[in-house]
Structure 1
Amino acid sequence: MHDIRAIRENPQAFDATLTRRGVAPMSSEILAVDEARRAKILAAETAQAEQNRASKDIGKAKASGDTDGFERLRTLVAEKKIEIARLNEEAKAEDARLRDLLMTLPNTPLDDVPDGADETGNVELRRWGTPRSFAFAAKEHYELPAVQAGMDFETAARLSGSRFVVLRGAVARVHRALAQFMLDTHITENGLTEVNAPVLVREEAMYGTAQLPKFGEDSYQTREGWWLIPTSEVSLTNIVADTILDATALPRRMTAHSLCFRSEAGSAGRDTAGMLRQHQFEKVEMVSITTPEQGRTELERMTRCAEGILEKLGLPYRTMVLCTGDIGFAARRTHDLEVWLPGQNSYREISSVSLCGDFQARRMNARFRPADGGKPEFVHTLNGSGLAVGRCLIAVLENGQEEDGSVSLPACLAPYLGGAGRITAEGMFG
C-alpha cells in the first residue's frame, strides 16, 4: 500500500510512476478523499472540544442556580454527542474509501526498471549454460516414454478435472527429490531458515501480501472463509505482520516447501498440455525481511540463490529484468529466471524474485526498530521461487531425454534417489 503522506507531498511524482505502469493518474481522486477524511476528523475534534467546554459549564450553571443556562448547555452537550458520532462515522467511511483506493493500486517501479507495455519489453541480464544439441527431435515432457507411465493426466481428470496430474513411481520420486534438494541447498548453503507454515490463511494475510482485493479470482476460498495460498510467500511474509522487529535481527531469511493453489483465471487456453500450468502445484519459496538499506542487495542475493539451483542441476537458463508492463502488482523490481525447455524450443519462467519495498509491510503493519533506537519504520519485503518444483521436473526430464526414450538425471539428485541416475524407457530407475 502507498504512503498517503508521500502522495500529498509530491502528487505529480506519484502519478508519473503510475503512468509508467499503464495506470491513469490517481492523485487528484486520492487527495480529494483524503481531504474529506481529514475535514471530518477535524470537525469531530472541534465538536468534541465544544462538548467538553459545555460539560464543564453545566456544573457552573447548576451551582449558580442558572436553570435556563443549565438546560441550554445540557441540550448542547446532547446535540454535540450526536454530531460527534455522525462525524466519526463519516470519517470512518472516508477512511475506508481511501484504503480501498490505495489497496487497488500497484506498487511503484524503481527508476532502473525498463519501460515496456508487456513481456516483449523485458531485458535480459545474463544467461548461463548452452542448450543441448539433440541428434533427434526433442520431445515435450509428457511425450517421453520414460515419463508416460508415471505422469497420469487421465486419472487426475477423473478425480479433479483439468489441470491436475497424478505422478507415480520414478517420476513422483524425482519430483520429491527436487524439492528436498532445493530445501537442503537453501538451508545448508544459502543460509535460509526452513519454515513449515499453513496453506490455509485468513483473508487478512491475503490482503497483506496484495493477493486481495484485486486478484481474488485467481485463488480459491473455502466455505469457512480461509484462502488456499497461491504461494507460501503469503504465509511466510505474514509471519511478521503486526510486529516490530529489531534491526539487528534483519535480514530475516526464510524458505518453505508447500502446496500452492491457483485458479489460473486469466490463462484459458494457455499451456493446456502437460503439467506446465496446474491448479495445484508445489514450490520451494524464499522470503526475506530487510531494512530499506538492505533490500536491493538482498534482491541480487536471492536471485543468485535461485540461479544456483539451476546451475547445480545443469539446466540452461536466462535471467530477465521485467519491464513496467510485466512486473507483478506488489513488486518494485523483479528478476525472472527462464529455464530452457528443449521440447518447446524456448525459455520458460521457473522463478520470479521480487523486491516489494515497504508496499506489503504497510498493508500488514510490519515494522522494525532502528539500531539507534529511533521511531519504528516499515520493513522491506522480498520473495522468490527457489524453485517451482513441477516446472523444474519438466526441465530435468526434457533436458535429460535420450534417443532410446530414457532420461538421464542430474548427478546432484542421486543421493535423493538411492543412487539412481537414469529413468529407463519403461519408467523405472536404471
Structure 2
Amino acid sequence: MENPIDQLIAWSKELKVLYVEDDLSLREEVSLFLSDIFAQVDVATNGQEGLQKLAQESYHLIITDMRMPVMDGIEMIEQIKMLYPKLPILVTSAHNESEYLMKLINLGVDNFITKPLQSEQIFRVLHTIVERIQRDKELIQYKHDLEITNEKLKKIAHVQSKSLDLKNSILKAYKEALDKATIVSITDKNGIITDVNDNFCKATGYSKEEIIGKKHDIISHPSNAKTLYSDIWTTILAKKTWQGLMINQTRTLTPLYHYKTIVPILDAQGEIIEFISIVQDLTELYKNNEETSKANLSLAMDVKEDELLKQIPFASALLTDNLILENYNALFEEIVSNHIDETLLLKLTTQELQLKELITFEEMDYFTSIESIKNNWPYDGDITFKGVIKSIGHILEVLVKISQYKPQAYMICIVKQEDFELCCQVQER
C-alpha cells in the first residue's frame, strides 16, 4: 500500500495553493513546508491581499488564518464562496476563536486545523482535501469520456436510415472501440441477452455462458423503482435512445452504480431487431465520494463537540447510549483525576469509564434514569438526579443533569446544588 505522504505528494504535484497569514514567522515556516508538497505556494498577509491574488491567479486550495488586519478570514471566505463556491478552504484557528466555528460551517467550510500547527495534523487534513480534489478530477474525466461516447451514439443513430449492412458494420466497429472502456451487452427485442463483453463479466461476476439467454433483471438491484423499467421500455420501444443512472448488482449482491445508454438497432424497414447497452461504471466514484463525505462530517462534528464542551463552565462530558464517557472538558477530567480511585483516569482516557463508576447515585433515581435513556428518551426536557463523588480528602455532593445531545448520544453536567440553576441557563442557551 502506498505511503499516505507519498500519495499526497503525488496527487499535489500539479496543485497551486494560496496561504493567507499575517504572522511573518509562521507564514514563512508553513509556506516552506507547503512548498515541499505543492507545485506552487503563494502567500498573502490579509484577506484583502488574498482576494487580489485570487483575482490574478487560479488556485486549487486556500489556507487561511482567522484574525488578520485590514480584512479578516471570515470576510474573505464570504467573498470567495460567492465567487468560487466549490473552491476548498482550510482554516487555521486558535482555540479561543470558537465563536467563528458555526459561521464557518454555515458558509460550507468543513476543514479546520487548530493552532499551534502540528505536521501530523496538517498532513492528515491535507490528505483528505487533496484526495477529494483528485476524485473530482477523475469524475470530470469520466464525464468527458461519457460525452464522447454519447456523441458517437448520436452518430450511430444518425446513420440508421441507411442500409442494414452499413448499420451493422458501423455498430460492429463501434462495439469493438467501446469494449476496452465500457460494459457492453446486446439483447433481442424481447429483452433476452444475446451477447456481453469481457468487462460485463468482470463487473458482475457472471460468465458469458451463465448470462446469455437471461434477462437483465438477473443483475437488477431491488432498490430500483419499478417505474424505471417501464420508462426504459416505453422509450426504447418508441425507437428512441434511453440514458440514465441505475443500480445493478454483482453475482454476490454487491451494488454497482451504472450510467447506462440503450440504443435500439433498426433494420432496413425501420423495425427494431435488437438493443445495444453501453455502461459507464461509476461504482468506485460513489464509494470514494461517500467515504470522503463521512470523513469530513466526522471531522467537523469532532471540532464542534470539542468547542461546545469548552464553552460550558462546569464539568461536562458526552456519553454513548450505554453511558460510557466519550468526550469531556478539562473540568470533568480534573474531577476524575482527584477521585479516590486512581484507576478511573486511565479508564477515562481509554473510553472505558462508565458514569456509575465515578458517581454514587441514590439507587432509585439512578436506575429510573438509566431506564429512561434506554427507552429512547421519552421526555421533552432533561433528567436530573443527586449523587456523590469520592474525592481525595472529602466527599463532593453534586447534582447531575443529563440531556440528549443527538441520537444515541447524551451530555452530562456535574454541578454543586447551589450552582444548578446557572448550569441550566448555560445549557439552554
Higher strand share: 2
**Which protein, 1 or 2, shows the higher relative CO under an 8 Å CA cutoff with sep ≥ 6?**
1
Relative to the length of structure 2, the TM-score reads: 0.30
Larger Rg: 2
Higher helix share: 2
Relative to the length of structure 1, the TM-score reads: 0.30
